[in-house]
């Protein structure tokens, strides 16, 4: 079921938005067509709308036509989740109005790289939280329906490296980037509960597998100490123990839009949904990218290639930007990946099973709840032959590297 279009998303609203953007109080909107473009069954905290707008400027007789994307909180009918969603939108507004424009300048001026994000037209926190963007589908960007091959993954890892380096440079100049301390699991308690439910379901599943007793005990211990492990995972590195960058926090191919040629080769991409950005180890985004951007085949065949490509691009950007500190060594980078390796397990157990879920048939309410329907849905997902094969291949590596300790 599509999200209903709010009554306030009307001609008056878009006149206010465009007058601010055009810096002209005489802008007159002549037509508005708003449609919901997100199904409520999809996992999201936001309602997304497309808007086709026609408007006039007093300095010309030409009528301008533009396509915009509008993002608002996806509120429950009683509004009970409004307080919970506000920090997410506060973070995103801060990112789009302050941090991303600064990073964009570094990307363009120092690294000869195109921007990483769509242009913001308007934002407000009152009377409603709302962000309005250019519709970048008009610029040839579109979403991918599946995870990426090696060559397209390299494009993503390279730009992620530059984004991380720029954030480090911006922190050096302003000491403000490190203020992003919320992250997904500090503002979404239900996210942690969902992960605990997922681990419980995996325990139920692997209990039925022969010769997996050691994993059952490992996961029971992880479940018992999960809150402590999550806090440690998302803690800021001290200078003695590592280095920090600004992480997107939900670095998933579904949060990206790509510009590709007829052969499907990606030449550029933009990242959207900056609600859970967090200052911390680069491993947070990099590990996420390994599992949620690269395809299974790409990860199996080119894991080290992608990590090396990211590191080389990061060091090159670090030097080009003129950051005072020496760039992290390859050992420093690999140490971050090992120290945060439990995130690999978390993603493989709590997120990877849902990559192929058809959310038009399974609602997020069913997945997140604790009732019998939810249990049946998760049992079907975790018992899927493809997922079973994938996780059985990964578990020995996690055990060997200590990610399950």
Q: Same domain, yes or no, for 276 and 354? A: yes
Q: Same domain, yes or no, for 122 and 160? A: no
Q: Same domain, yes or no, for 153 and 281? A: yes
SS (H, E, C) the chain: CECCCCCCCCHHHHHHHHHHHHCCCCCEEEEEEEEECCECCCCCCEEEEEEEEEEECCCCCCEEEEEEEEEEECCCCCCCCHHHHHHHHHHHHHHHHHHHHHHHHHHHHCCCCCCCCCCEEEEECCCCCEEEEECHHHHCCECCCCCECHHHHHHHHHHHHHHHHHHHHHHHHHCCHHHCCCCHHHHCHHHHHHHHHHHHHHHHHHCCCCCCHHHHHHHHHHHHCHHHHHHHHCCCCCCCCCCCEEECCCCCHHHEEEEECCCCCEEEEEECCCCCCEEECCHHHHHHHHHHCECHHHHHHHHHHHHHHHHHHHHHHHHHHCCCCCCCCHHHHHHHHHHCCHHHHHHHHHCHHHCCCCCCCCCHHHHHCCCHHHHHHHHHHHCCHHHHHHHHHHHHHHHHHCCCC
Among 103, 133, 163, the domain-final residue is 133
The CATH code of the domain that includes 48 is 3.30.200
Q: Same domain, yes or no, for 75 and 32? A: yes
The CATH code of the domain that includes 205 is 3.90.1200
Q: Same domain, yes or no, for 301 and 167? A: yes
- Is 6 contained in some domain? no
- Is 1 contained in some domain? no
Tens-level pLDDT at each residue, the chain (405 residues): 578 899 999 999 999 999 999 999 999 999 999 999 875 555 677 899 999 999 998 888 889 999 999 999 987 665 556 667 888 999 999 999 999 999 999 998 888 888 889 999 999 999 999 999 999 998 999 999 899 999 999 999 999 999 999 999 999 999 999 999 877 665 555 678 878 888 998 999 899 999 999 999 999 999 999 989 988 899 999 888 899 999 999 999 999 999 999 999 998 899 999 999 999 999 999 999 999 999 999 999 999 999 999 999 999 999 999 999 999 999 999 999 999 999 999 999 988 887 656 666 666 666 655 555 566 676 778 878 888 888 999 999 999 999 999
Count of domains for the chain = 2
Among 133, 163, 179, the domain-final residue is 133
Q: Same domain, yes or no, for 246 and 349? A: yes
For residue 157, the enclosing domain spans 142-401
């Amino acid at each position: 079921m599509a999200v209903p279009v709010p009554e306030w998303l009307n001609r008056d609203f878009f006149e206010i938005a465009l007058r601010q953007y055009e810096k002209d109080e005489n802008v007159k909107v002549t037509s508005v067509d708003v449609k919901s473009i997100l199904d409520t069954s999809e996992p999201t905290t936001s309602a997304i709308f497309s808007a086709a707008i026609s408007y006039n400027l007093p300095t010309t007789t030409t009528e301008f036509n533009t396509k915009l994307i509008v993002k608002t909180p996806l509120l429950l009918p009683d509004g009970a989740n409004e307080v919970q969603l506000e920090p997410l939108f506060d973070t995103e507004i801060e990112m789009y109005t302050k941090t991303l424009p600064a990073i964009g300048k570094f990307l363009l001026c120092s690294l000869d790289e195109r921007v990483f994000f769509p242009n913001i037209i308007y934002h407000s926190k009152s009377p409603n939280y709302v962000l309005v963007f250019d519709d970048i589908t008009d610029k040839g960007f579109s979403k991918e329906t599946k995870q990426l091959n090696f060559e397209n993954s390299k494009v993503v890892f390279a730009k992620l490296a530059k984004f991380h380096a720029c954030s480090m440079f911006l922190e050096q100049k302003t000491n403000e980037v490190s203020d992003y301390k919320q992250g997904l699991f500090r503002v979404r308690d239900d996210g942690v509960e969902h992960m605990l439910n997922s681990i419980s379901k995996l325990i139920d599943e692997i209990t039925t597998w022969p010769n997996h007793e050691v994993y059952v005990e490992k996961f029971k211990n992880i479940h018992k100490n999960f809150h402590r492990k999550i806090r440690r995972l998302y803690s800021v590195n001290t200078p003695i123990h590592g280095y920090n960058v600004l992480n997107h926090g939900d670095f998933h191919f579904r949060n990206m839009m790509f510009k590709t040629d007829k052969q499907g080769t990606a030449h550029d991409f933009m990242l959207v949904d900056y609600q859970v950005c967090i200052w911390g180890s680069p491993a947070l985004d990099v590990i996420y990218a390994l599992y949620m951007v690269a395809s299974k085949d790409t990860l199996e065949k080119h894991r080290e290639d992608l990590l090396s490509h990211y590191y080389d691009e990061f060091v090159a950007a670090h030097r080009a930007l003129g950051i005072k500190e020496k760039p992290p060594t390859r050992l420093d980078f690999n140490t971050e990946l090992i120290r945060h390796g439990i995130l690999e397990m978390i993603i493989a157990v709590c997120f990877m099973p849902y990559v192929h879920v058809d959310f038009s048939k399974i609602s997020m309410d069913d997945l997140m709840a604790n009732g019998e329907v939810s249990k049946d849905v998760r049992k079907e997902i975790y018992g899927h032959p493809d997922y079973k094969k994938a996780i059985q291949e990964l578990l020995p590596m996690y055990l060997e590297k200590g990610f399950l300790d």
